[in-house]
Structure 1
């Protein structure tokens, strides 16, 4: 006779060595969820394994065939994956002109293209089960387009758009996608997961000041990653018929600044709409 007991959901998180990814993994374990934690070096997540997580080495920038093999091994760990959290990422600082083509490509490889490759590796599994949740960790920078982190912000804006497209095209498969517009949290992004440009150009004072202030503020941000992790898991596990928000602002600053940005864009659109209209073919 089949058991009516519902097994705990399986959540896979990339980038669990520090910061938000680690906090999500620890919170999920505390809730009794089945956790697959990943990092580039297994030694950094041995304690999560000791707490009950299955741990895997993962370089999110590996070739698609390597990531597909990783997906198979991950699914076999518990027989399924219910929630995929694409958390791994880093920040490239500096003015856009200062960023080399290699730095720009590297930024997009990790923050954008790797998300496509990893998620697509799990997509056949999600589609065959007609269920699954994709959580992409973005940033309020996707709205704010910060001087001094323009390429980083652009990579996160692309991630937001990708997530929204996935939300639309995967809905028939009952697969959900949400982009978490993250505010400033006390993680390792500023201290060890950010990089200054290899060259500097005189005159980009504001851009240089941003990256300097960003690193000096490390450890003093308002956001608590433990609380943030709880909010993310609350959102994706809540029992509700409502669809997930496509873009979910997380953090007091992210909620306020995202709203302010969108209001400014609407105001700008209204101010200039007469110039943008009356372009249809006559008749």
Structure 2
């Protein structure tokens, strides 16, 4: 007897990649739970066969746990959790107010912890589950003009890698999707300009202006990205998922370039960083 299709839950399905993943998952035969802050934005997904829920990922943990219980009850299980909801705060870091910085971290980082924690007891009890966190090549590139956004994604990548290790004994997988530039709504309606403009941050201001202008001209196709993400997390293979998966030719090439630069810098300064052990103590390596 064939087993029932997997259940996938996606946050931030009103537009962009989240919507593409929901639609592709339905086409692929998965059972889909689509969420958004406004139910009216995803009613068409219900017409296509998805179960839809209102979800503000910034809700308090108690509310998120109640949501998780309702979502799990829709099909009796959740197999794949896609943490997709997010937005981009532009500007130089000094131009971002403390409230804006906290808001950016609240959505792009802390909400991922809280939403995932709400589902982890279910995953652990079933000893199966996949966590998919939507990140960005900005986590490697650390671009001026989107510094806080890039920082949230770098934190998200590290979080995902830790989860991939911590949750392995429960047969739970975690992968951070390091996206290149795709034609979504991020650069148009999902980006916030800085509140304070400070003269002299020319590179940061140019990045934000160019980022907006390129909206709709990015090289990446979000429909193809959605298909590749779903293929990755549903393929039958003994090979473990990578904790960080670069998606898009630009993400792959720019990540390689950045990592090579980081390694070169490490090698260049390594001798200067040595010689700080307690006298007589020799470092013999450590396995984290």
TM-score (norm 2): 0.97
Confirm or deny that 1:268 pairs with 2:265: yes
Q: Deviations over 1:109-166 (max 9, x none)?
A: 0000000000000000000000000000000000000000000000000000100110
Q: Aligned partners of 1:263, 1:148: CA distance in 2, in Å? A: 23
Match of 1:104 in 2: 101
Inter-partner Cα distance in structure 2 for 1:139 and 1:31: 25
Matched, 1:91 2:91: no
Give the distance between the partners of 1:220 and 1:85, measured in 2 at CA. 25
Shift of 1:281: 1.3
Moved over 3 A (4+): none
Aligned to 2:175, the other structure's residue is in SS state strand
Tell me if 1:191 matches 2:188. Answer: yes
1:219 is paired with a residue of what secondary structure? Answer: coil
TM-superposed CA distance for 1:66, in Å, is 0.6
- In structure 1, the residue matched to 2:283 is none
One of 225, 228, 236 as aligned partner of 1:228? 225
Q: Summarize deviations over 1:57-115 as a string: whole Å, max 9, x none.
A: 00000011110000000000000000000000000000000000000000000000000
The alignment partner of 1:55 has SS state of strand
Q: Does residue 23 in structure 1 map to residue 20 in structure 2?
A: yes
Partners of 1:112 and 1:39 in 2: how far apart?
17
Question: Which consecutive residues of structure 1, in runs of 5 or more, have no partner in the other structure?
Answer: none
Query: Which residue of 2 is the match for residue 116 of structure 1?
Result: 113
| CA deviation after TM superposition for structure 1 residue 14, in Å | 0.2
Residue aligning to 1:73: 70
Which position in structure 2 is the counterpart of 1:50? 47
CA distance in 2, matches of 1:233, 1:46: 22
How far apart in 2 are the matches of 1:121 and 1:23? Answer: 24
Matches within 5 A, 1:29-44: 29-44=26-41
Query: How many residue pairs end up in the alignment?
Result: 280
1:177 to 154, 174, 178: 174
Specify which of 47, 56, 60 is matched with residue 59 of structure 1: 56
Displacement of 1:6 in angstroms is: 1.1
Equivalent residue number for residue 245 of structure 1: 242
Deviation of residue 279 (structure 1)?
A: 1.6
Structure 2 residue runs of 5 or longer lacking an equivalent are: 281-288
With normalisation by structure 1, the TM-score equals 0.98
